[in-house]
Amino acid sequence: MTSRPEVEVYPDAEQAAVAAATAIADWLAAGLDENGRASFVGTGGSSPGPVYDLLATLPLPWEQISVTLSDERWVPPTSPDSNERQLRERLLVGEAAGAAFVPLWSDAPAAEEAAEAAELAVADLFPADVVLLGMGEDGHFASLFPGNPALEEGLDPLGGSFVIAVPAGEPAPAMERLSLTLYALKQAFLTIVLIRGEAKRRIIEDRDDLPIHALFRAADMPVRVIWSP
Ligand code: 6PG
């Protein structure tokens, strides 16, 4: 079990992104050496973009790498709110254009049905070589939000499902989502939590009651917290 990881401090967001991209590339290369294939779970929000930009320049054998998302907003990939859109625009380009992408969103009638439709293809990517996560100031990761009706299922480390639908809620999320579960995300050879700002550092270091802390307790493999001001 991983106890609370040390917060790794970097001078700025650019150097934090370099550290994250370097670790991701190294662990993908190790997975490819060992298994002939590798899988990477990206995330949404504003933090991962610079990491994707760096990864897309690296000459890895991306045709042997599968990519999916930790979570998705219940919007089509054409939406500016889509995590898939950000990943396609900033990671699945350049050297990484040939990576195999496993989407969470599909044109199913409802998020629950899209979650069911994505389940097997996502499960096939686990154990994942690397998972990249951000974290909200409420301690959420992926789309596992404090107080949300789907949180209990989402944080059940023995739950057995990989993808769930998350209803919009108060205070979050503003829109319905799809999320990988802790049961899925803890099955990673390396998890990187990429965060910025003092408020988020305080969440990591001073609290132990939020979704992110459940990840730390459940993770069997290394978790790195990469932080910059
Ligand atoms: C999303 C993300 C979400 C994100 C956090 C942190 O779909 O928005 O998956 O979980 O990681 O909200 O977002 P920032 O990186 O923008 O702070």
CATH number, domain containing residue 177: 3.40.50.1360
72 lines ligand 1 (CB under 6 A): no
In 114-222, DSSP assigns E strands to 128-133, 163-166, 177-180, 188-196
| Domain count within the chain | 1
Domain boundaries, position 65: 7-228
Residue 62 in any domain: the answer is: yes
- 112 inside domain: yes
Q: Is 157 helix (H, G, I), strand (E, B) or coil?
A: coil
Residue 1 lies in a domain: no
The C-alpha atoms of residue 4 and residue 214 are separated, in whole angstroms, by: 10
- Looking at residue 88, its pLDDT comes to 98
pLDDT at position 1? 43
| d(CA 137, ligand 1 centre) in Å | 10
Is the Cβ atom of 46 under 6 angstroms away from ligand 1? yes
pLDDT band at 61 (very low <50, low <70, confident <90, very high): very high
Answer yes or no: is 223 within a domain. yes
| Residue 74, in any domain of the structure | yes
Q: In this structure, is residue 177 part of a structural domain?
A: yes
Confidence of residue 204 (pLDDT cuts 50, 70, 90): very high
2 domain-assigned: no
CA 117 and chain centroid, separation: 19
